[in-house]
Amino acid sequence: EGACTKLDEDILDIPLDDPDANAAAAKIQASFRGHMTRKKIKGGEIDRKSKDPECASSTRVGDLRNGD
């Protein structure tokens, strides 16, 4: 019970209006969202390739990172 009280006190000590804390939180959230998106896309590609043989054999023409 004492450990939970100490943890609750530590959480309450975080200043919510601190710009550095907000920037750190934004980076963590963006990283997690990217992780979930990549996981979702990877799962979708595997399902699509196994269901549609035409998609599995197609070749990619352009690289989206370069604007092609």
Task: Give me 40's structure tokens.
Answer: 């979702």
- Average pLDDT on 46-58 reads 57
For the chain, where are the alpha helices, taking DSSP H only? 2-12, 19-51, 53-57
Confidence of residue 45 (pLDDT cuts 50, 70, 90): low
- Cα–Cα distance for residue pair 30/22, rounded to 1 Å: 12
Query: pTM of this prediction?
Result: 0.46
Contact 21, 14 (CB under 8 A): yes
- Average pLDDT on 31-54 reads 78
Q: What is the pLDDT of residue 60?
A: 56
Confidence of residue 34 (pLDDT cuts 50, 70, 90): very high
- Average pLDDT on 27-56 reads 79
